[in-house]
Amino acid sequence: MDKLIIRGGNRLSGTIPISGAKNAALTLIPCALLTEEPMTLRNLPRLADIDGFQHLMTQFGVSTAIKGTRPEDFGRIVTFEASRLTSTVAPYDLVRKMRASILVLGPMLARAGEATVSMPGGCAIGNRPIDLHLKALEAFGAEIELTQGYVKAMAPDGGLPGGDFDFPVVSVGATENALMATVLANGTSRLTGAAREPEIVDLCNLLTAMGAEIEGIGSSDLTIHGVKRLNGATYKVMPDRIEAGSYACAAAITGGEVRLEGANAADMVSTLAALRNIGIQVEEDAKGVNIASDGTLKPVDLTTAPFPGLATDMQAQLMSLLSKAEGTSVLKETIFENRFMHVPELARMGADIATEGRTAIVKGPSLLTGAEVMATDLRASMSLIIAALAAEGETTVRRIYHLDRGYERLEEKLQLVGADIERVDD
């Protein structure tokens, strides 16, 4: 198993290319199940989670062909072709490793009339139920059965009729499943209280390119007129707003100056507003975002919320940054109940953070020092890297397979802007 060794103190400066968005890619790939024609995704990040999802697709008889990129390039182009589905079962072993596998439920049901997917179970950042995914599919006419740890969804003969569903809680995953289930329904469906994260917009844009009829894109009120069939398409995955936000925090904590090449500021409104309030200079243009900091950081109060609110996926990284701010910051996590696992590790590096339920109180500025730390989940791992970049001495981060799930060639990108970071075989 690899580990990362970071020697802190270098001021980051230069340009970091931003990869395609993991969370968008994981909902765009299963769209290939909706058509017998080839679907090509450009700008797919090279990540363990994406490889895992590609593997899951082959389980259903989908062929995948990778082309047109050199090893030194970021991203790749992959063509998926589901001309014939050979299985409608997503087994436990694959779903267990990757929660996003639940996103095959909707499209598989729409295309094949049935889908059997292992229940994903708990996960490190809290109890992550799928009840809304299932209730939405029922509202569209599916019959759901839960047996032996599996969800079996069946459409009536002739396909899903479609229907209306009002989400009591904003759910990104359930909105994605609902969209993919209804685009091929016999009638019109309406989703209210739907998630409107940029990744949902990306999904709607791909579905539209495939011939789907969706009204209200970008809002929480979506109307989907089912069509008889969808065609293939070639589509470029949106830039990763969380990767970009993470590197913005990394640049800021070192008092650095970094251009996030390819980042889309409009997708990052709340993160960029938070950074500005912390005292960081943020400049946006059509092709990227520039971040500059003189190292003076102000404390702020932040609360995570569904888009356009502050992404829960940015909470840990901002917490590291705020440990260097002059004063007390308060961070509230409203999406997940157990998403402060980075706190004890940051404390081991010298941060002064107290938690009470879903609130963390960060007292700064702390003198951070290098330590041996353990990655617990994807974004928590990134918060440790950010702290390590500003820490005195050497930090060793273990269990970095979490990072490899979501950050394409992290150490190479950080080396590009002058960080002292290396990957070594443990």
Residues in region 196-255 near ligand UD1 by CB under 6 A: 197
Residue 139 C-beta: closest distance to ligand UD1, Å: 13
Q: How far is residue 49's CA from residue 210's CA, in Å, rounded to a whole number?
A: 24
Q: How far is the CB of 291 from ligand UD1 (least distance, A)?
A: 21
Least distance (Å) between residue 171 CB and ligand UD1: 3
Instruction: Determine if 57 is a binding residue for ligand UD1 (CB under 6 A).
Output: no
Residue nearest to ligand UD1 (CB): 173
Site pattern 285..324 for ligand UD1 (x: CB under 6 A): ---------------------x----xxx-----------
The helix, strand and coil proportions of the chain, stated in percent and rounded to the nearest 5, come to 35, 30, 35
DSSP string, 297-312: ----EEEB-STTSB-G
Secondary structure element (H or E) that encloses residue 14, with its range = strand 13-17
Provide, rounded to whole angstroms, the least separation between the CB of residue 132 and ligand UD1.
3
**Strand partners for 422:** 5
Q: Which two tokens stand for residue 197?
A: 């994260």
Q: Which of residues 116-175 bind ligand UD1 (CB under 6 A)?
A: 128-133, 169-174
Q: Which of 28, 194, 335, 368 binds ligand UD1 (CB under 6 A)?
A: 335
Which distant-in-sequence residues (6+ apart) come within 8 Å of 258 by Cβ? 12, 13, 14, 15, 16, 247, 248, 250, 251, 290, 291, 292, 417
Residue with Cβ nearer ligand UD1 (113 or 309): 309
Going by DSSP bridges, is the β-strand pair 150-154/114-118 parallel, antiparallel, or unpaired?
antiparallel
**Using the 8-state DSSP alphabet, how is residue 163 labeled?**
-
123 is catalytic: yes
C-alpha separations of 253 from 12, 78, 301, 323, 387 in Å = 9, 36, 17, 9, 8
| Interface with ligand UD1 in residues 362-401 (CB under 6 A) | none
Least Å distance, CB 168 to ligand UD1, is 8
Catalytic residue among 31, 123, 204, 249: 123
Nearest to 153 by CA among 112, 117, 115: 115
Q: What does the per-residue mask of binding to ligand UD1 show for 5-24, with x meaning CB under 6 A?
A: ------------------x-
- Interacting residue ranges for ligand UD1, rule: CB under 6 A: 23, 128-133, 169-174, 195, 197, 306, 311-313, 335-336
Residues that are catalytic: 123
